[in-house]
Chain A
Amino acid sequence: MAAQKDEYYIERVLQGDHSSYALLVERHKDMVYTLAFRMLKNREEAEEIAQDAFLKAYSSLKNFRKQSKFSTWIYRIVYNLAVSHLRKNKKQVQSLDDDEHPLDLEDTQQKMDSLEEGDRQKFVQQALSELSYDEQTIMTLYYQDDLPVGEIAKITQLTESNVKVKLHRARKRLHEHLGHLLKHEINSLL
């Protein structure tokens, strides 16, 4: 059976076919969970928040305004739930010290190219986890889900220019973290 658009399944659910919701969950669960996990850095909490997000979306499906995409809507729900969870648990966001020196991107790229695929993935994930939760969200949505800045602004409730600034800063910080991680790795091998 050819995959239908999200709107088709939403209509089916609203007409009483609740099992169609499972198809929506199946389609978006990875990205919703990825967002929750990158923000909370804990698998159990991320799973719980992702489930709550789908449940909340189901309860409010009638109020879903079809001007935006379902994915944008569910990402916004999971983002808000994760932010509330972080605030409730008063988790601190790690940040890079301001006095750290920016590293040479070309050098980082060369080191990354010399790594195996699996190691490269590990280092990127590790560097990404060093960013603040909103930076990780923006990076994930922009580079992994290829969402335009306007959609990210809707999800994070930031202005488009603010998203652009954060994106630029997050990218720079990711490169810096990667550079430091690779430097430590090479030093430990020597």
Chain B
Amino acid sequence: MKTSYTDPEKQTREWMKASGKEKPSEGFTRLVMEKVETKKRLYPYKKDNNVWHYILAVGLPLIYLVYRYFSGSGTLPAEVNLQQEVQPYVHIFQLMLEKVTLDMSAPIVPLGIGAIVLLLAFDRFILRSISFSR
């Protein structure tokens, strides 16, 4: 087919159309659907409404506590001093909090956070545009 030698745009479209599309293997759709079926079997709940999971996650412990309370087994024996029992755990928590606060106050932390932010910005705005423009 003869073409006018003036329009590279039109010419390119013609050549590209002529080059055709590639074809995947014969059973491509079947293989995809098999994978879809496997995924459905492995994660059957993922596609359902998750609201029941949230209700169960909150509701079950709540039901358990209500049951314990009404059955009388939720109350502590008289000889147990709750404050004394809990004290070591509170102390450990306090120590951990102090350690974290101390670590965070070191100059290396804000510097580190700043460096990460800088690297992320560098990757997002500079590196990606360079790699795509190659």
Contact = CB atoms under 8 A, between A and B. Distances in A.
A55 B46 CA distance: 14
A175 interface: yes
Interface in B1-51: 1-3, 5, 8-9, 11-13, 15-25, 28-29, 31-33, 35-37, 39-40, 46-47
Contacts of A84: none
A47 B25 contact: yes
B15 A22 contact: no
B28 A33 contact: yes
A21 B129 CA distance: 35
A71 interface: no
12 contacts: A19-B33, A22-B33, A29-B24, A54-B32, A105-B8, A121-B20, A124-B18, A134-B134, A144-B19, A171-B12, A174-B12, A175-B8
Interface of A: 18-19, 21-22, 25-26, 29-31, 33-34, 37-38, 46-47, 50-51, 54-55, 58-59, 62, 93, 95, 105-106, 109-110, 112-113, 117, 120-121, 124-125, 128, 132, 134, 139-140, 143-144, 156-158, 162, 166, 171, 174-175, 178
Interface of B: 1-3, 5, 8-9, 11-13, 15-25, 28-29, 31-33, 35-37, 39-40, 46-47, 128-129, 132-134
